Amino acid sequence: MNITKFEDRTIIQSSPNNFFLDSLKKEVKSPFSLPLSKSGIHIGMEFEFFVPTSNRTANERIDDLNEKVEHLIRSFSFYNDTIEVLPDSYEFEKNLSHAYLEKDSTLHSENGEGFEFVSPMICLDETAFYLKTTSEAIRDIGYSNDGCGLHFHISSEKLGDIDMAKLMTFLHHEEGLFDGYIDRNQYVKSLERVFLNMNIERFNDDIREQTKQYDIVFLTDNHIELRIFGGEDVYDSPDDILKRLDKFLNIYRIACTPELEQDLYKQLVEENIKNGHHQLEPANFETVCGIAKELSEKYDWNLGEAFEEAFNISEESVLTPEKLINEFDKQYEEETLRTI
């Protein structure tokens, strides 16, 4: 293992046994659907966790922490050629073929020091192996709490630009994907909740630059960061995470492929109308206003501020009469089929 210093970061180069690693990777079967392997999807992972510290003197605590971090690095170097160890808040353009271990001041625990381990960019077929081995290393020497997250960077050079609104629509209709989700901290607020409270034009035009504090971050045309996984038991069940990630990746692939997303969107619209559900997605603002004006005249009901509150769908919303809601849904679905 070769250790060098560059400014105030440490670069550790090792020589993993690639033949042995390839054998281990083959034993970890990929849970992902077949079409995904042909879509050029790449994955990067960020693992947030704590290294426990002793309650001894300050110097003894630092020595104890350093010893445990060295143990982690030895574990990580088993399947990484190069690991860079960084101090807190160190910003530079990272090498996507390197792994990084850095202190994370956004994590808080009375009994440990917060760290983030960042994987190199890997292909989809390596994801299951990487997730399981890294989770095992963290469980062996560290722990997580409700403030910790496991983040996935997802991108593809082969797929087209992502349709943000369609992606959120498809995710909203995928059962089980957001099960157990909580707002862990100010950096992982629910984007789904925002989507359901905005009209389509505003979401597509304004939200891309504002997603850095949400659980789905839009970075470039089809590069996103998924932050829906986290909590004190996040590294205990990697198979469950992989199953949910597979659902997300299928939806991501569809949202980046125009012919696929148009077919799925049409199918969802038809199912919603058939089942008599509420509108499929947040309403086009002009459509809502036009229908509201028509209905208010039809039922001789002055909507005013109550209407604005009702159709913002906020927690403080004033419910409109059931008959009006039903009529609105019916006309909105008809308008949706004509205009989208």
pLDDT digits (tens, 9 = 90+) for 247-292: 999 999 888 888 888 888 888 777 766 665 544 454 455 555 666 6
> Residue 231, by phi and psi: left (phi above 0), alpha (psi -120 to 50) or beta?
left
Residues 276 and 15: their CA atoms lie apart, in Å, by: 60
Same domain, 238 and 323: no
Residue 193 lies in a domain: yes
Residues 277 and 271: their CA atoms lie apart, in Å, by: 9
* Nearest C-alpha neighbor of 52 from the set 44, 41, 61: 61
Length of the chain measured in residues: 340
In the block, which residue shows the tokens 């997580």? 144
8 A C-beta contact, residue 249 and residue 36 = yes
Same domain, 146 and 287: no
Q: Does residue 313 register a pLDDT over 70?
A: no
pLDDT of 24 reads 84
> Residue 276, by phi and psi: left (phi above 0), alpha (psi -120 to 50) or beta?
left
Which residue type does 189 have?
K
Taking residue 148's Cβ as centre, other Cβ atoms within 10 Å add up to 27
Same domain, 203 and 317: no
Q: Token pair of 215, please?
A: 């659980």
Q: How many CA atoms are closer than 13 Å to the CA of 178, on its beta-carbon side?
A: 16
Residue 175 lies in a domain: yes
Same domain, 11 and 98: yes
Number of domains in the chain: 2
Of 174 and 228, more confident: 228
pLDDT of 50 reads 95
Average the pLDDT over 286-307 and give the result.
57
Which residues have a Cβ under 8 Å from the Cβ of 234 and sit 6 or more positions away?
144, 148, 149, 150, 241
**What proportion of the chain, given as a percentage, has pLDDT over 90?**
27
Cα angle 182, 110, 65 (rounded to 5 degrees) comes to 115
Same domain, 250 and 301: no
Of 243 and 90, more confident: 243
pLDDT of 335 reads 55
Which residue type does 265 have?
Y
Taking residue 216's Cβ as centre, other Cβ atoms within 10 Å add up to 22
Q: Which range of residues forms the domain containing residue 145?
A: 2-259
Which residue type does 16 have?
P
**According to DSSP H, which parts of 210-303 are helical?**
238-255, 258-275, 285-298
Residue 79 lies in a domain: yes
Residue 264 lies in a domain: no
| Distance between first and last Cα of the chain | 58
Residue 269 lies in a domain: no
Residue 276 lies in a domain: no
Residue 274 lies in a domain: no
Residue 267 lies in a domain: no
